């Protein structure tokens, strides 16, 4: 049993069983999640600079980690003091460690995480490694290594500043009995004749989204109670697992708070609920000309540019639709930064140029755009006055939907633009695009840095432009629906 399988088993025994016996039922791995895995691998390699000159014990084939176990033993016996991917096995459980170091005759373990902080899941992960490794090699200490978001790049990357090393030995020791019990329990699960009967629940999403949701949720009806927003997941699962599966199963006399009741009434009637008075009030505060604006950002785990830090949002693209008045022709401008250069200043200068003058700037979920502009103001204080002018003009188009001024049952309890657009403008959606969400856009932009084929590069750039343009065009269409609703 691998470390990843063990962590999966802690989340759900059914998922563990399916992973071992029915891997064909797994959901396809999205490109953006695969990029996260690759990022973790890359950062693991970079962390080796903390202890340079080590020997790699990785197997030639990832399926043959038993070779790595033997190689690790030989390296230890031969006096090697820094080993990368040291592998150990105990009680049929395998644990590979990113970095094993011998100092003053004592061994220290270092497991690298690509995150900016240590999570409870990381502690469990480390506790298993400690359990397996110490069956054959005593460890003086065990560290989790993570990225330091306080680090600002100045010239070449400084590994000892980029990474933080946190001792978790005491926390791992406190979990050793539990780890041993879980190993035995999970072995019993793997030996079952069929998957354990575990109903869907919060474990499907916590601490990680399970990749068997498509299999385990195939019996959930289209009109399930999970289409209700504003209710804790624990309550929704409790309802579902006691037989209240569909919206129609909720008794008429059941009363919810205002937000949920609005959704429930719309779902029962299958008609949108529109509060014209509140929508009119919202629209009255918005003044033409209108700039419909959307940003895309990248978040390099390792800072690529001067004076940036790990996981800093760097805006690289925007789309802007413009309407002088309600009846004027729609205009469009866009920006997409070149790769291999810091995109921030060119992004900012282009944005300031195309939003000059007066008129409200409409965005969808203003918290994000405001945070990006405020960060740019810190990075480029010479443009602070102009940035403040743009900030003062921002209006948030999500408000009529997040505040339930307008609710359509097709929104399925979500005020996300991906749900609102097809609900308000049937037949108009993101379905035909190669990029369908911001996480994929971020991944594609990052992949542009390593893509050498000019034709592929152009296709990727066109896909990015098409996606961002769709975001602002969607805002235009949604705004028109709001205007028509109170006309």
**394/483 same-domain check:** yes
Given 269, 290, 311, which residue is the final one in a domain?
269
Given 190, 225, 253, which residue is the final one in a domain?
190
Per residue in 88-147, pLDDT (tens digit) is: 999 889 999 999 999 999 999 999 999 999 999 999 999 999 999 999 999 999 999 999
**363/386 same-domain check:** yes
Q: What is the mean pLDDT of the chain?
A: 94
**37 in a structural domain:** yes
**341/452 same-domain check:** yes
**197 in a structural domain:** no
Residues near 464 by beta carbon (within 8 Å), at least 6 away in sequence: 296, 317, 336, 435, 441, 444, 445
**134/74 same-domain check:** yes
E strand intervals along 19-171: 55-56, 82-90, 93-103, 106-112, 141-147, 163-167
The CATH number of the domain holding residue 429 is: 3.30.420.10
Residue 63 confidence (pLDDT) above 80: no
* Stronger pLDDT, 284 or 427, i.e. the higher one: 284
**174/304 same-domain check:** no
Q: What pLDDT, on the 0 to 100 scale, is given for residue 30? A: 86
**195 in a structural domain:** no
**89/21 same-domain check:** yes
- Asked if 260 and 231 count as a contact pair (C-beta separation under 8 A), the reply is yes
**412/436 same-domain check:** yes
What b/e sequence results for 273-282 when a residue is b if at least 16 CB atoms lie within 10 Å of its CB, and e otherwise? bbbeebbeeb
**Domain, as residue range, for 249:** 202-269
**19 in a structural domain:** yes
**75/176 same-domain check:** yes
**369/424 same-domain check:** yes
**207/322 same-domain check:** no
The CATH number of the domain holding residue 168 is: 3.90.320.10
In terms of Cβ atoms closer than 10 Å to its own Cβ (0-12, 13-18, 19+), residue 410 is middle
Considering only CA atoms, give the Rg of the chain. 26
Give the confidence band of 35 by pLDDT, cuts at 50, 70, 90: confident
- Give the global pTM: 0.90
Q: What pLDDT, on the 0 to 100 scale, is given for residue 31? A: 83
Per residue in 418-439, pLDDT (tens digit) is: 999 999 999 888 888 999 999 9
Q: Could you report how far apart the first and last alpha carbons of the chain are, in Å? A: 64
**342 in a structural domain:** yes
Comparing CA positions, the residue from 153, 166, 82 lying closest to residue 117 is 166
**364 in a structural domain:** yes
**232/320 same-domain check:** no
Given 141, 170, 190, which residue is the final one in a domain?
190
**138 in a structural domain:** yes
Number of domains in the chain: 3
In terms of DSSP bridges, do strands 360-363 and 106-112 run parallel, antiparallel, or are they unpaired?
A: unpaired
Give the confidence band of 458 by pLDDT, cuts at 50, 70, 90: very high
Per residue in 239-266, pLDDT (tens digit) is: 998 999 998 899 877 778 778 888 888 8
**Window from 252-256, 276-280, 282-286, 452-456 with minimum mean pLDDT:** 252-256
Q: What pLDDT, on the 0 to 100 scale, is given for residue 60? A: 83
**133 in a structural domain:** yes
**281/240 same-domain check:** no
């Amino acid at each position: 049993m691998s470390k990843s399988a063990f962590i999966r088993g802690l989340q759900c025994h059914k998922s563990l069983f399916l992973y071992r016996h029915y891997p064909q039922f797994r959901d396809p791995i999205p490109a953006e999640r695969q990029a996260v895995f690759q990022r973790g691998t890359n950062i693991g390699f970079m962390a080796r600079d903390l202890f340079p000159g080590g020997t790699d014990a990785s197997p030639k084939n990832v399926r043959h980690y038993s070779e790595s176990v033997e190689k690790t033993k030989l390296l230890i016996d031969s006096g090697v003091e820094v080993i990368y991917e040291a592998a150990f096995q105990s009680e049929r459980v395998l644990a590979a460690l990113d970095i094993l170091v011998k100092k003053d005759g004592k061994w220290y373990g270092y497991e690298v995480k690509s995150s900016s902080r240590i999570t409870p899941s990381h502690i469990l992960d480390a506790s298993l490694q400690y359990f397996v490794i110490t069956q054959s090699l005593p460890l003086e200490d065990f560290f989790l290594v993570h990225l330091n978001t306080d680090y600002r790049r100045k010239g070449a990357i400084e590994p000892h500043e980029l990474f933080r090393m946190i001792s978790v030995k005491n926390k791992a020791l406190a979990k050793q009995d539990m780890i041993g019990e879980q190993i035995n329990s999970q072995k019993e699960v793997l030996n079952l004749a069929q998957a354990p009967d575990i109903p869907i629940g919060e474990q499907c999403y916590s601490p990680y989204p399970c990749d068997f949701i498509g299999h385990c949720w195939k019996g959930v009806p289209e009109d399930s109670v999970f289409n209700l927003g504003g209710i804790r997941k624990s309550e929704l699962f409790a309802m579902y697992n006691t037989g209240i599966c569909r919206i129609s199963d909720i008794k008429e006399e059941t009363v919810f708070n205002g937000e949920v009741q609005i959704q429930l009434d719309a779902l029962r009637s299958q008609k949108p609920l529109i509060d014209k008075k509140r929508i009119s009030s919202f629209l009255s505060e918005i003044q033409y000309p209108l700039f419909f604006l959307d940003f895309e950002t990248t978040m390099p785990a390792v800072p690529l540019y001067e004076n940036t830090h790990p996981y800093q949002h760097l805006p690289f693209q925007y789309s802007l639709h413009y309407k002088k008045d309600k009846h004027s022709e729609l205009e469009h401008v866009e920006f997409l930064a070149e790769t291999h250069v810091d995109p921030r200043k060119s992004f900012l200068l282009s944005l300031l140029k195309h939003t000059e003058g007066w008129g409200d700037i409409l965005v969808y979920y203003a918290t994000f755009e405001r945070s990006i502009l405020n960060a740019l103001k810190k990075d480029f204080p010479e443009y602070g006055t102009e940035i403040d002018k743009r900030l003062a003009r921002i209006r948030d188009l999500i408000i009529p939907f997040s505040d339930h001024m307008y609710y359509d049952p097709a929104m399925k309890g979500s005020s996300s633009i991906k749900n609102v657009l097809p609900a308000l403008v049937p037949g108009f959606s993101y379905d035909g695009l190669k990029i369908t969400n911001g996480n994929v856009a971020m991944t594609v932009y990052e992949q542009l840095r390593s893509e050498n084929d000019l034709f592929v590069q152009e296709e990727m750039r066109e896909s990015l432009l098409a996606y961002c343009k769709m975001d602002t065009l969607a805002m235009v269409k949604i705004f028109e629906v709001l205007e028509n609703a109170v006309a």
